[in-house]
Structure 1
Amino acid sequence: MLIPTNLLAEPGIVQGLLDGSLVRYGSVIRHAAGTPQGGQIVRHLLEAPGLTNQLMSLPFSPVTGAVSLVTNTIGHAATYNKLIGIDRQLIGLQQTASSILGFSQIAAGASILNIGVSIAGFAYMGYKLHQTQKAIGNLQKSMAAGFDRLEDRLDALSGQLAYLHLLVEDSREEQQRLGNAIADLHKALLIKNIADLQAELEHLKRFPDDSPKAALKTATSARLFLASQATQAPLEFDANTLMLVDISTQGWAVAIATEANLLLQHGQIPEAREVLAREIPRFQQHAHQWAKSLLNTERPELATAQRFATPYFKNCITPERVQRITQISPSDRALSSDQTLQKRRGAKVELEMTRTQPQLTSQWKYRQLAIAEYLDTLSELYARLDGLLAFAQLCEQQGVKSSHELLPDANAKPGLYLLPAVET
């Protein structure tokens, strides 16, 4: 099944991603909407263990930066493949998998799930849970110290919770309130559930041949608890609420992926598909509710994800990020190209109106960047879980005894690999 080449060595896929006839969605490549086969899976994205290990050492730029793995890891893969069979004028040596796959400016929180399915995925998810806990500690220290320069504070964070600084940057009272909430968070069951799940992931990394029963029980328990915490919180544009929901949501996603991957690896493939088929619609609804709430505004012309695609945000928010947010926005996702363009023009005109200018303060802009960061995380997490469901369905269709049968082996070169979808 596995194509033993890096993604950039398959010209047809690269060309499709460049001209827009193909799109990356989570961990799969699909025919783009509007094409004759729109939505159909073309390839599954898998990463070799070496790539997953490298992910653990790469920095993620907070709030508006691109994911560094693209240049440092996948970009190098293009070099050692020497762009075999690809027109250099078309791709160019500066063209990396970042722009081809749309990885630029993915919120750091979304990196808590690996790109696709990986043998070393448990180690990576455990590592990112640790990074989440570390981010909470760093954020607490930063709030206690106060704000000197916003950029310095953002650089001090791991990136996963950096958007919270943008929400409370102008209010010392809000900073203190958020600091108190972080302290309370350490005492909450929320952290205990994440810590328990992290401990099981660490155990799986050290003893991969052990029975998965204990880890499955912990993952199921964490999934149920964290899902309830994420979905029962009020839809409020408040730093404390966003922080609690964000951490719960990321933990929920990891618990889902952990439980499903354990079942896939140990041959319980129908059970894995059932878990994913049950949880993913709930996660999608959760993402839609938050997108609808956070994109809402008193100015109807701005109550759309397309406000982020206007010239006002050109240097802050990439088109890929706008597209991902659109995927979870109920009012944007079903629009035609003409309707999308109309929304974008309406938002642009509104932002240029004289009556709107007093509203466009640095505080307002920070809040918009925070909203974009937050929604981007939700969108990418949902897309990657959806990709995992597609992989589970592939395992079931192929009749494999374990998902390991479809994955690159431990000796595979670091990089992304392609797995064909089952023909229907």
Structure 2
Amino acid sequence: MATAADIESRAPHTLTQETDPDLYASLTEQISSLADPYPIYRRLQRDYPVAEFEGLVSVFRYDDVAALLRHPRVSSDDRTSALHRSLLKQDRLSTAYLSQLDDQSFLHRDPPEHTRLRRLVAQAFTPHRVNALRPFIREQVDSALNAAAEQGRLELVEDLAYPLPIEVISHLIGIPEDDRPFVASWPRMQLCCSFEPAELGAAAKLEQEGAPAQAEADRLQEQLTDYFAHLVRRRRSEPGDDLVSALIAAEEDGERLSGDEINATLRLLFVAGYENAVNLVGHGALALLRHPDQWAELRDDPASVSAAVEEVLRYDSPFQFTRRVALDDVDVGGYRIPGGSTIIAWLAAANRDPARFTDPDRFDIHRRDNHHLAFGSGIHACLGGALARAEAEAVFAELTRRLVNPRLEDDEPRYRTDVFRSLEALPITFDSAKRDSHGMTRAGRR
């Protein structure tokens, strides 16, 4: 019989094409783009709860993911990993890539540097500042639904889920109106993966292959950096009531953010500020339309919109996973993860764990005890979660209030093939639209 010590030191499972061909194929075929990855997550939780896969260690159970996110001996900085040290020793990481690592935001830094940066940024990114945006958010939602009502059709991603958070984060940051078309022209596929350095293994592979894709990613990151450097210079001489000015002014115990730190923070907040919301709004609208009873309950009880947003976050998380590095040997869920390992914490799998949530595959906007991990946990919990929630609340409240007899044009929507679980499109038709929040009526076509 195994002792507690034996269990504690058990090595992670090894998942290969030989050990489990079907699961291996599912993971190598970019699971985030599958229409329904959750049965696969369930199998992984059962058979491979902590597993080594192609050089990375994946963790799938709720308790294990939650423990990992708060573990004092895990890092968010790729430079601490054994893979980084190995590739650096082999001279397989470019000078440009290494320079980008030095310019990372606080998202990929550890205490005490992370603590200092996040504390200063939090002074500017306050709940008050987010709440003050709610009327602006509502106006943007009304405008999009008024335009859709005249057509009797809404392409949710193109018409609302994508442009709304871009406009909101641009407004919050203080990007001038004249610059908005330029900012909106940045390609989403590249932007979401290029605002900070790529995952180490991918970076090494791309560099080795000549890397036209990496060259484009580097070009876009340089463009982001240059634009925000220009904006910071402008706000130093012409401060306003915006996030850039607030970051410049943020100070504690005589410490301020440097220009490079402000730039890295703006890149992070801009990209994370829209990608989270795009996915949250898209996943939520799809879940509500697939569950007409829940749509009707939210329509009849608008006060439940906050709970509805939390259930969407649990049921189909905007980000499927996050990345960490074990600084030392780390014990998680009865498995010992070797120091230096890069760990993938599968947030979406954890949020459907039957050991934590009753009937986890049921979408229930009145679910209680809904302590999901969609925005992470611990010191790296998503700072922009409140903004994404505010946008989703406005969208779900107005969709359910205004659209009469809405339905999906296609109940098999396509997902993007990048690392995020994100809808390509979600066309919706409806019979008519009720008055907007300004009392105006737009009649949809029957």
Q: Same fold judged by TM-score > 0.5?
A: no
Normalised to the residue count of structure 2, the TM-score between the two structures is 0.26
Q: Which has the larger radius of gyration?
A: 2
Structure in which a larger fraction of residues adopt helix: 1
Structure in which a larger fraction of residues adopt strand: 2
Normalised to the residue count of structure 1, the TM-score between the two structures is 0.27
